Chain A
Amino acid sequence: MGRLNDIALATQVAVMGNKRAFDQLVRQYQSPVRRFFLSQTSGDEALSDDLAQDTFLKAYTHIGQYRGTSSFLTWLTRIAYNVWYDYKRSEKGGKSLEAQTNERIQGLMDAVPQRQSTTLQIDIYRALSLLRDEERTCITLQLIDGYAIDEIAKITDMPTGTVKSHLKRGKEKLANYLRQNGYDR
């Protein structure tokens, strides 16, 4: 779907409140948005879907602010990041992501997984849960969603230098963990 088509659909939503046009945008971009949250929550599908739903509802109510200067997905990812940031701020003091991930991964291993989670995927989620929130976000935006450093800086509202240092530290931690678990042989 091209950017022009996205702009046309977004305009129909903004001006006429066309829900069918918005339905097309959700169908097109639900996968990358939910994948973003799966990476942040280390594979918590229920939480990821709730946060993704919040993201699309916010996108719908603020769609008049989409100017078409970036891709619709980049704009959505910026909203998704803010939704995630607000969620993390609201749940401070709760269990650490690492502890939550360990519980969930144990559950995934014991039960039949809802989606086929491979061992590699589980190990990556576990490794991601060891990172600081900012490191995890920068890493997943680059390695999974394929964003360049300047785009990550725009999405997260961080200076490019800060993004680079989060990526460097995060990658070191991830690579060490994965090597210790036999992934470099």
Chain B
Amino acid sequence: MTDNELLEQLFQPMKEMQVPDDGFTKRVTQQLPKRDTKKLSRLWTAFCIVAAIVLFVLMRGWETVGFALQTLSNNLPTQQQVLLFMVSVATVGIVIASELLFSGKRGLRYVFD
């Protein structure tokens, strides 16, 4: 009997050996770390910003904005214009504040990292 034949024969039972789970899988899954979901969130934010810019350019968004502003200035009384302006500023402020809050010191730049 050659070395190979002898070893093949003797190792056969170990080749067929099945290690019973005995709670191993449960122990592993209990120790799994939380996945970093920031990366996906950043990608999604970047995608939305790029899509918004592209659509704005393709649809000549500045014309619509200009038209809307002109209509507002022609039709609304001064008090309503001021209120509208304040609501707009507040909305933009909330968006920027939340971005700064969730992205730490690096602020809005994180999107493009």
Contacts and interface: CB of A to CB of B under 8 A. Distances in A.
Interface of A: 17, 19, 22-23, 26-27, 30-31, 34-35, 38-39, 49, 52-53, 56-57, 60-61, 115, 118, 120-121, 124, 143-146, 171-172, 174-175, 178-179, 183-184
Contacts of B25: 23, 26-27, 30
A23 B17 CA distance: 22
Given A53-B31, A143-B8, A35 B3 contact: no
Interface string B91-104: 00000000000000
Majority secondary structure, A binding face: helix
B1 interface: yes
Contacts of A39: 14
B53 interface: no
B77 interface: no
B19 A124 contact: no
Contacts of A172: 3
Nearest to A55: B28
A78 B33 CA distance: 21
B3 A53 contact: no
A34 B24 contact: yes
B29 A178 contact: no
Nearest to B16: A144
Contacts, number: 80
Given A35-B19, A39-B14, A143 B7 contact: yes
A61 B36 CA distance: 10
Contacts of A171: 3-4, 7
Interface of B: 1, 3-4, 6-8, 10-11, 13-15, 17-21, 24-25, 27-29, 31-33, 35, 37
Contact of B28 (A26, A121, A174, A183): A26
A31 B37 CA distance: 31
A57 B35 CA distance: 12
Contact of B33 (A35, A60, A124): A60
B44 to A, nearest CB: 13
B6 A184 contact: yes
Of A39, A52, A61, A144, the most chain B CB neighbours within 10 A belong to A144
Given A30-B19, A30-B21, A34-B24, A143 B11 contact: yes
A23 B29 contact: yes
